[in-house]
Every structure is written in structure tokens, then in C-alpha cells.
Amino acid sequence: MVGSAIKLAMTKPKIQTADIQAAVGWGIAAGAGAIWVVQPFGWIKKTFIDKPVTEEQ
């Protein structure tokens, strides 16, 4: 009985598909929450979409 308890405690748990899906889901939720809190849409538009203003002389 003691030997089987030690063997059970020494086994390494295997990563299941549901664990990976849950981690991805929480990552998406955390990323969406961070974007919602910061709301950098003006910065994204100014940085990536609008063309930079050039000074012509």
C-alpha cells in the first residue's frame, strides 16, 4: 500500500487537450480585457493606418 502511494505521488501528470484549450481561452480573454482597458485604437490608427505627414518645402 505504501509503495503504491509513493508511485502515485511520483507520477508526472500528463497535459490534456482540454488543458491547452483552457489556457488558450484564458489567454484570449486576458488579451481582450487588456485591449478593452487600454483602448489604444487611436494610437493603432495613427501608427499603422494613417500616412505620416511630410513637410514639403
Q: Please name the amino acid found at residue 17.
A: T
Helices in the chain by DSSP H: which ranges?
A: 2-10, 17-38, 41-44
Q: Which one-letter DSSP state was computed for residue 15?
A: P
The model's confidence at residue 29, banded by pLDDT at 50, 70 and 90, is: very high
Q: Identify the pLDDT of residue 57.
A: 57
Q: Quick: pLDDT tens for 1-10.
A: 566 767 766 7
Q: Identify the pLDDT of residue 49.
A: 87
Tell me the CA distances in angstroms from 40 to 14, 20, 29, 48, one per residue in order.
39, 29, 17, 12
Q: Identify the pLDDT of residue 6.
A: 72
Q: Which one-letter DSSP state was computed for residue 53?
A: P
